[in-house]
Amino acid sequence: MDIERNDFSFPFNLVSYKINFGDSSVSTSLLGFAKNKAIYRYGLGATLINGLSEKELRSQQIAIAAPKAINQDTIDWPMGNRLKNMITTGFNKQLLDKTVEEAFYDANTKATRGTRALLVVYKGEIIAEKYADGFTAGTRQLGWSMTKGMMNALLGILVKQGKINIAEQAPIAEWKNDNRKAITIANLMHMNSGLKYSWFPAGPSDLTTMLFKEKNMGEYALHSPLIHTPGTVFNYSDGTANILSLMMRRMLGDKDYYRFIDEQLFYKIGMLSALIEPDAGGTLVGSSYCYATARDWARFGLLYMNDGEFNGERILPQGWINFTVTPDSANNKDGRGLYGALWWVNAPYNKSNPANRKYPQVPADCFSCQGYDGQFVWVIPSKKLVVVRLGLDSGSYLDPGSFLGDLMKVF
């Protein structure tokens, strides 16, 4: 099958699995050892059984939001999927088609680039959309760390509602009697909390332990020791995103927590396919586990492109996007660029010098959600562009800087 052939690289190709359609579960083992099981629950997605029995997991009572009863195929984009007459001016259509095609296949070697979906939104309208074989506009795809952008939005909504102040200390009871009590919500969002965390997706690390062995991911992360003064050292951490998700759960209570993201974000911007899976303890995995169609990822980008407004309604507070794209400290440079508040930024400091940008050929105001294996939502306000790329990096890998540079020549 396609997933087995393309998604299971070493060492995952050593894993055997059994799908049980009767109880919606998948059981796996590695060479007869390291056995695991995940179950699927409607409205919640798949959950790995960790730290509790299967019976206990299946008996969890989680009050999800009622599905939005609309047919998006009868509604105009962006709230729906009915596309208007495409914009035909302001860009080179022939060059756009060529750039899109080369995002899927290397023009020289004809090797695949692993791209599964590419979508370009210009001035609010979809002007390019292409999918790999086996994928369609209706296929939900995993965003991995792009999920952190969702946490940014939820926190922004809570700020707008007057429920939190990001400059204040994070309300984590476990920290109130030690030096971690100085960590602010903004520190967590900027990945400079000072908490110890090791990020290594290909082997043993805090990341893989948290994602694949822990019942309560946020609780695992919040017990990390403080090794730096908060606000002084950047350390990319999935753990802090899950601490933020757990913090929101405790604040909202289980009655409202699971409905909050649908009712306050997804339903308001037409992201009806979007789903964030919970861990075994019931907390949404805010670091990694959001699935959505390419069009829904594009809708999310449009929310940020339009300064937090969508369909005539202000979703995020005034000034939230500016906060999001402004790093807290100049020492947070990473191989993927500079980090704002749960979003990556292209060039926040010396915007006039392309040499200081992650993508030199791309406008300085570009910012993005990025996920493992080549997931991207790029927002470029000066070009009125939102670009979504989903895939599984393989073959002749897509170089984001080169691709975006070629795309800029289109406009």
What is the rounded distance in angstroms from the CA atom of residue 193 to the CA atom of residue 93?
A: 46
- Residues 47 and 276 sit within 8 Å (Cβ to Cβ): no
Query: What pLDDT shows up at residue 356?
Result: 76
Ranges in the chain, pLDDT < 50: 10
Q: Supply the DSSP symbol for 76.
A: B
What is the rounded distance in angstroms from the CA atom of residue 247 to the CA atom of residue 175?
A: 12
What is the rounded distance in angstroms from the CA atom of residue 401 to the CA atom of residue 368?
A: 13
Q: Supply the DSSP symbol for 312.
A: T
Q: What is the dihedral of CA 305, 310, 314, 317, to 10 degrees?
A: -30
Burial tier of 384 (Cβ tally within 10 Å: 0-12, 13-18, 19+) = middle
Question: Which residues, in sequence order, are CB contacts of 172 under 8 Å at separation 6+?
Answer: 180, 183, 222, 243, 247
Query: What pLDDT shows up at residue 107?
Result: 83
What is the rounded distance in angstroms from the CA atom of residue 166 to the CA atom of residue 187?
A: 9
Cα atoms found within 13 Å of the Cα of residue 129, Cβ hemisphere only: 18
Q: Of the candidates 361, 383, 398, 325, which has an alpha carbon nearest to the alpha carbon of residue 121?
A: 383
Q: Supply the DSSP symbol for 326.
A: S
What is the rounded distance in angstroms from the CA atom of residue 140 to the CA atom of residue 129?
A: 15
Instruction: Quickly name the fold that domain 42-69+135-408 has.
Output: Beta-lactamase (3.40.710)
Query: What pLDDT shows up at residue 13?
Result: 62
Query: What pLDDT shows up at residue 347?
Result: 80
Helices (H) and strands (E) in the chain, counts: 12, 16
Determine what percent of the chain falls in helix, strand and coil, rounding each to the nearest 5: 30, 20, 45
3-class DSSP assignment, residue 6: helix
Q: Is this structure's pTM higher than 0.85?
A: yes
Distance of CA 336 to the CA centre of its chain: 15
- Cα dist. 296→120, 130, 265, 272, 377 in Å? 12, 15, 12, 7, 11
Q: Could you report how far apart the first and last alpha carbons of the chain are, in Å? A: 40
What is the rounded distance in angstroms from the CA atom of residue 185 to the CA atom of residue 166?
A: 5
- Residues 234 and 334 sit within 8 Å (Cβ to Cβ): yes
Q: What is the pLDDT of residues 123-169, one digit of tens each?
A: 999 999 999 999 999 999 999 999 999 999 999 999 999 999 999 99
What is the rounded distance in angstroms from the CA atom of residue 356 to the CA atom of residue 285?
A: 33
Query: What pLDDT shows up at residue 28?
Result: 87
- How does the average pLDDT of the chain come out, rounded? 91
Secondary structure of 167-224 as H, E, C letters: CCECCCHHHCCCHHHHCEHHHHHCCCCCECCCCCCCCCCHHHHHHHHCCCHHHHHHCC
Buried b (16+ CB within 10 A) or exposed e, 155-191: bbbbbbeeebebeebbebeebeeeebebbbbbbbbbb
DSSP string, 146-174: GHHHHHHHHHHHHHHTTS--TTSBP--GG
Query: What pLDDT shows up at residue 32?
Result: 62
- Residues 410 and 399 sit within 8 Å (Cβ to Cβ): no
Secondary structure of 332-370 as H, E, C letters: CCECCEEECCCCEECCCCCCCCHHHCCCCCCCCCCEEEE
